[in-house]
Structure 1
């Protein structure tokens, strides 16, 4: 399978994963964090950016290429 085919097949899965992870994190953040740490409430796009940033820091990337 070619690289562009892999990218086209994984993009919808990544997008669905992002949507599924952003919505609960958004509600939990706005419910708990402002009261505990006196931080402001954030919007959905800000939470999406935060989730993407965390995924980039903690994962090896969007596409893992097997070099064995």
Structure 2
């Protein structure tokens, strides 16, 4: 799969928190990519869309941590 076509986005809730954020690319068929904004060249997680949706749903139910 050609990951060079990934369109990365950062949460609008990230703000200026010192770079402790992740970016997500969900425009590629069949995968969702996640990477660290502090180390964009350091690799990425590749998730199935259902796994990403489950993670996001759980995070919304739990709410902010910290």
Q: Taking structure 1 as the reference length, what is the TM-score of the superposition?
A: 0.31
Q: Which of the pair has more CA radius of gyration? A: 1
**Structure having the larger proportion of residues in strand:** 2
* Higher helix content, 1 or 2: 1
Higher relative contact order (CA 8 A, sep 6+): 1
